[in-house]
A and B are shown apart, each in its own frame.
Chain A
């Protein structure tokens, strides 16, 4: 380390940085490119919701509100018994309380909740941050396609099962022939 080399290095680093493009993203003018798994907001695909309440119960800060009622479904065959079905009346998430832990998305057994990278939903009143099902549903359409699995990743279970069945069928056909 010769004396003065640190000074020269400082000059070199700053000059090199100056000749490169700045890393700043001009946000309001240019939208940021967020990775597909960004935790922006939670979208609701309400057709999949069975009002099982798992999300509301697992939520660490109790920010999910669900109301529902039961409806009787007429018997499928004459002489059968009436079935009851849960109908969703209200599904709301208070994003003033939500801490974006994603437990509700993880815990949902019917794939009704999804992360969306949408993030521009600031409000001037904190009470307006409780978003009802219609708004959550709109966000559902902004949920990106999940990124393809890694090349070295294990095969998804559904694909593995389907492939095994197909192979079995093919083997049987060969055996028949």
Chain B
């Protein structure tokens, strides 16, 4: 019984991990196209190009998997897996609905999630270093700088929620959630979501990729399935960051009829945040590497600290 339960949960998490990023990717195709007055893919699969990403996957699988002659072979080949797998692991700990609709309840949920989330960026670092290509190296170093700068506000913002709830468990946080936490933690939400986007190297924080300057950063030398894994990791990352923001700051499954429709509220909130990520990509130009650093250290870190102070004061006043 226990084994069956574990298998079922793992299967569900794996399914979500394989489906949700593709949904986000397809949504990005379509939303981006319509925001630019186009229609996007229309042919693959027949109805409004719904199978475009499946077709892309087939194409990537057919392509030759090339490793450059000067590359550090092992590390180079391992990097896409390092980029992708942490997101799968994180997904296990994210609660979808009340009453145990979660892969695995962890007491130190926030701690676990943020620690594993930081690992994913290592994939880009490894790829950048192992490619033996100056553009890859530049991209990798920018990734490293960005990771250093944005881990801090990410952790501080998450710490604020943990303080408010008095627990590190994600389900515990959602159990203690009240609606007025949303305005109370709104600054933290902004900091967390923005820093999450920067960790994923999504526009406008995509200087580590910057196709117009450094080809494709750490992913320059990748082709075929390994490149596809990097792309999948990016979209899985969008899902994870959106879901975490929804859980920590927007009340996850809370909404009308949380017992029956909790998972729906969670999915809706995650979807809305994913839309924001896509929207930012279409609407805003890329920040320079130095602007990205400046934004993290002079805007996000002080804001996160202010949020922690606010959380502390309110917490002392109401207790």
Contact = CB atoms under 8 A, between A and B. Distances in A.
B partners with A: yes
Interface of A: 7, 10-11, 13-15, 17-18, 20, 22-24, 26
Contact of A14 (B35, B38, B39, B42): B35
A10 B284 contact: yes
B39 A18 contact: no
Given A24-B39, A26-B39, A26-B42, A18 B283 contact: no
Contacts of B33: 22
A13 B283 contact: yes
Contact of A20 (B31, B37, B282): B37
Given A15-B35, A18-B35, A22-B39, 6 more contacts: A11-B283, A14-B282, A15-B279, A17-B34, A22-B34, A24-B39
| Residue of A7, A14, A17 with most chain B CB atoms under a 10 A cut-off | A14
A38 B35 CA distance: 30
Contacts of A20: 37
Given A18-B31, A26-B42, A11 B279 contact: yes
B283 A10 contact: yes
Contacts of B279: 11, 14-15
B36 interface: yes
A11 B35 CA distance: 10
B37 A23 contact: yes
| Residue of B33, B36, B42 with most chain A CB atoms under a 10 A cut-off | B36
B274 to A, nearest CB: 15
Contacts, number: 34
Contacts of A22: 33-34, 37-39
B36 A17 contact: yes
A14 B31 CA distance: 10
Contacts of B38: 22-24
A14 B35 CA distance: 5
A13 B31 CA distance: 13
Contacts of B39: 22, 24, 26
A7 B42 contact: no
B162 to A, nearest CB: 30
Contacts of A15: 35, 279
A23 B282 CA distance: 17
Interface in B1-59: 31, 33-39, 42
Interface string B79-115: 0000000000000000000000000000000000000
Contacts of B284: 7, 10
B34 A18 contact: yes
A60 B37 CA distance: 39
A17 to B, nearest CB: 5
A20 B35 CA distance: 9
B252 to A, nearest CB: 26
A26 B37 CA distance: 13
Contacts of B42: 26
Nearest to A24: B39
Nearest to B278: A14
Nearest to B280: A11
A18 B279 CA distance: 10
7 contacts: A7-B283, A10-B284, A14-B279, A17-B34, A20-B37, A22-B33, A26-B39
Interface in B222-254: none
A23 B284 CA distance: 22
Contacts of B37: 17, 20, 22-24
Contacts of A7: 283-284
B35 A17 contact: yes
A110 B216 CA distance: 61
Contacts of B35: 14-15, 17-18
Interface string B265-283: 0000000000000010011
